[in-house]
Structure 1
């Protein structure tokens, strides 16, 4: 995306969480594979990746569509949660490259920031707390706070409203296609930093940039803020 809005002022930043702030998607996929094995289902990484960035109800429907209506859906996701929690509590959860410098800059600029995640409130608070990020956000919107999850724009529109910044003055940072589409549907400028899934053509066409890590997002934000002064 290169147009008149590219360098328009930015007054707030909205982050995805899993795969963008936290290096958690690989752990979640590993936990899902383990849950499947424990209950006699083959859930390869290629299948698990289809769940990235979409709400829990859609993930459950994906399991039903793939393994049949009789599949023990709730048991599978409970087993995944147990396996993931064990990995996280064992210290395997870390932040992604560039997260801390970007948050430090937002602190220095006194810019409001939010998270819009498809994870539950419990998981968001627990994971962010373990890596020391929980108190660094003004607002955290989870799947428990909305009626329609990503790729619907509701999570991003609610996050923008809660930090008091119009969508047109926000910047969204996403890793997944579903999340990027949600931010783009909310008319929020979006930078995509892919994690386990490459950005498809439609997402790339509407994104400001597709970057390797958040350092580039920090450079862009500094440039926009400098132009506004």
Structure 2
């Protein structure tokens, strides 16, 4: 299978990098500080959602701004402690792409996203974070904004995601979706193409855009 694209849009956590250990450490610490029980915490979906949404499920609205700032602080401070690592194939795949043909679209804040990306040496020319939109994934707004910033028709964009919410956002934006089975089982991921991670794919830049293919 070959997918033709004019722009490639990547989620960050779980797609380009792994931050699962950091997320678990920081959110567990945060939950303890705010008196949230393990049972309460276990009922909330963390992955692929903004901190504002997660905190809003657990705390009264009056506490949300302060609590969101606290968990962001914990996560940013955890980055130098091995809080993030590149997932297989990330470096090679991104290195094959022109800088103006791809963007990172994340549910994290800009401060946290830049800290995690910087720790592994990734510097996207375009980054859409939770700070840039009023509605996060699974709403299509983040991906539509990324396409607009790159000057590309959404129908000619390919979204790379590991979470169901992100894949729903990509589909709602009218984009082709590629799911990476890094944090969810493949059967849980509804996409045009499902692979284990970026090491399963190759990218060839042509005059007409980028051709994405599954490695043999």
Q: TM-score, normalised by structure 1?
A: 0.79
Deviations 1:110-156 (Å, cap 9, x if unpaired)?
A: 6610111111111112221221102xx22101111111111000100
Question: In structure 2, do the counterparts of structure 1 residues 40 and 147 end up closer, same or farther at CA, with 3 Å as the change threshold?
Answer: closer
Q: Aligned pair 1:142/2:129, yes or no?
A: yes
Q: Tell me, which stretches of 5 or more residues in structure 1 are unaligned?
A: 1-5
In the alignment, the residues of structure 1 paired with residue 75 and residue 112 of structure 2 have an alpha-carbon distance, to the nearest angstrom, of 10
In the alignment, the residues of structure 2 paired with residue 45 and residue 37 of structure 1 have an alpha-carbon distance, to the nearest angstrom, of 11
- Tell me which protein shows more strand as a share of its residues: 2
Q: CA deviation at 1:225?
A: 2.5
In the alignment, the residues of structure 1 paired with residue 137 and residue 212 of structure 2 have an alpha-carbon distance, to the nearest angstrom, of 32
SS in 1 for 2:71: helix
Q: Tell me, which stretches of 5 or more residues in structure 2 are unaligned?
A: none
Q: Aligned pair 1:131/2:120, yes or no?
A: yes
The partner residue of 1:152 within 139, 156, 159 is: 139
1:17 is aligned to: 12
The partner residue of 1:214 within 194, 198, 203 is: 198
1:53 is aligned to: 48
Q: TM-score, normalised by structure 2?
A: 0.83
Q: CA deviation at 1:51?
A: 2.0
Q: CA deviation at 1:44?
A: 6.2
Q: CA deviation at 1:30?
A: 2.2
Q: Aligned pair 1:225/2:214, yes or no?
A: no
In the alignment, the residues of structure 2 paired with residue 112 and residue 55 of structure 1 have an alpha-carbon distance, to the nearest angstrom, of 25
Does the CA-based 8 Å contact 1:11-1:111 persist in structure 2? no
SS in 1 for 2:18: coil
The partner residue of 1:28 within 4, 17, 23 is: 23
Does the CA-based 8 Å contact 2:105-2:129 persist in structure 1? yes
Deviations 1:16-51 (Å, cap 9, x if unpaired)?
A: 011111211331122101221234322369727602
What does residue range 1-229 of structure 1 map to in structure 2 within 5 Å?
7=2, 9-43=4-38, 47=42, 50-64=45-59, 69=60, 73-74=64-65, 76-107=67-98, 112-134=101-123, 137-198=124-185, 203-204=189-190, 207-216=191-200, 218-219=201-202, 221-222=203-204, 225=211
In the alignment, the residues of structure 2 paired with residue 164 and residue 171 of structure 1 have an alpha-carbon distance, to the nearest angstrom, of 14
Does the CA-based 8 Å contact 1:18-1:117 persist in structure 2? yes
Question: In structure 2, do the counterparts of structure 1 residues 8 and 191 end up closer, same or farther at CA, with 3 Å as the change threshold?
Answer: closer
